[in-house]
Amino acid sequence: MPPPPPAIAETAAAPAFTAPRHLILFIGALVAIGPLSLDAYLPAMAGMAEAFGVGIVQLNNTISIYLVGYGLGQFFGGAFSDQIGRKRIGLIGLAIFTLASIAIAFAHTVDQVQWLRFVQAIGGGFSTVICMAIVRDVYPVKEIGRRMAMVTLIMLASPIVAPTIGAFLLHYGWPAIFLFKACYSFALLLYYLAFIPETRPGRWRSLSVASTLRQCGQVLTLELEGGQRPILYAVTMALGASVFMTFLTNSSFVYIEYFGVGEQSFPLYFGVSIIGMIALNFFSMKTLTEHKAARYFRRGLHLQLFGVIGLLVVVLLGPWSIWFVVACIGAVVGSFGLTGPAGSAEYMRNFDTLAGSAASLYTTLMFSMGAILGLVSGVFFDGTLRPMVFVMITASVAANLLARRLRPRR
């Protein structure tokens, strides 16, 4: 089979670029905008619903709407960064996110919050989609898996810390949570502007939506030796990620309303679920190699399915101890410590100059599926865990079945 075209060919070594020692730390902080945007206001959702005079489902929908906007921002942001440079896209995204966060703090209706969350999400998508592409720009192919594990390990502090910050700021009213998000993103904007160099230079006149679609088409149609398409990894990872996002959409209902956990205690139950992901991500960072990636990816998906089956048992036999549910969610979330770095390594190693487009397609699929499944669980909401769990197990089974079609790389 002839070698892939130059736009997609794999490179054996990192580009001629000296990475600042703090680059991975900055990338981790930048990626953390995603979970920070979703997790920090989870303890406040019940209170926000009461303040706006609406049901909890309408506040849950602000998460699904955010995921839609985030996916769109990632889709165009990644491809645009291939054309005009990573740094320009990152700075634009941080600016949009900052302004939208301030506007949400002064919103008067839930409809305003929903629309502004969509705008905020586009900025968040722009600013975070470049992270995976920057790693691909700077580091050798054989290091991508471990570097992504390091980024994820740094980022994982956010799902633990964010609800705690949100619960604390709730004493000053829910708008304080969004003002905190604005300060965080603005600080990153200033740091990026002053200390982080461009990793892939581009020109404004290169910006083209037609080129964006063409680049994404190249990613979608790339076929490796033996007929395997890397995009299958992206679809499988997206299905797996949407399982957790479905829980995330419903987490405030699960813990605060269904199990009666107080808003101040919510971060404890939510944070415990993240411990497994931190442990497995640390394991990936230390042991993951390019030859182990496919095996780690499949084992992560099996672990996720095991956790969702545990939740199904709760639905069928009745609500057991809340800690059993927390343990099952821990398995679902913890699986990302294996599937995230391993899947990213197997997927991104196939792209060089199209790293931004490849990253954008993956993240667009992930957040779009997460948004759709979250909305589906809301449509069938009946005051129990059934809609959430049935949606989660459907996505997990589909991810595991699709993974069987992915052949390990020789």
Please name each of the domains of the chain with its CATH number: 23-196+210-403 (1.20.1250.20)
165's CB contacts (< 8 A; 6+ apart) are 40, 177, 180
Lowest mean pLDDT among 5-14, 287-296, 300-309, 327-336: 5-14
* Token couple for 10: 């794999």
pLDDT in tens, 48-88: 999 999 988 888 889 889 988 988 998 898 889 989 999 99
Tokens standing for 277?
């992901």
**pLDDT tens across 9-45, in order?**
443 334 445 667 789 889 989 999 988 898 898 889 9
Which residue in this structure is represented by tokens 């808003």? Answer: 263
C-alpha 3/C-alpha 39 separation (Å) is 44
In the 8-state DSSP scheme, what is residue 24? H
Band of pLDDT at residue 129, cut at 50, 70 and 90: confident
Alpha-carbon 359 to chain mean position = 11
**Counts of helices then strands in the chain (DSSP H, E):** 17, 0
User: Tens of pLDDT along 147-174?
Assistant: 877 777 676 677 778 888 998 999 999 9
Tell me how far the alpha carbon of residue 179 is from its chain's centroid.
22
314 CA to centre of own chain: 27
Q: What is the mean pLDDT of residues 386-401?
A: 94
Sequence-separated (6 or more) residues with CB below 8 Å from residue 143: 14
Taking the C-alpha atoms of 45, 242, 325 and 55 in order, what is their torsion angle to the nearest 10 degrees?
Answer: 30
Q: Determine the pLDDT at residue 409.
A: 59
Q: Tens of pLDDT along 107-128?
A: 999 999 999 999 999 999 999 9
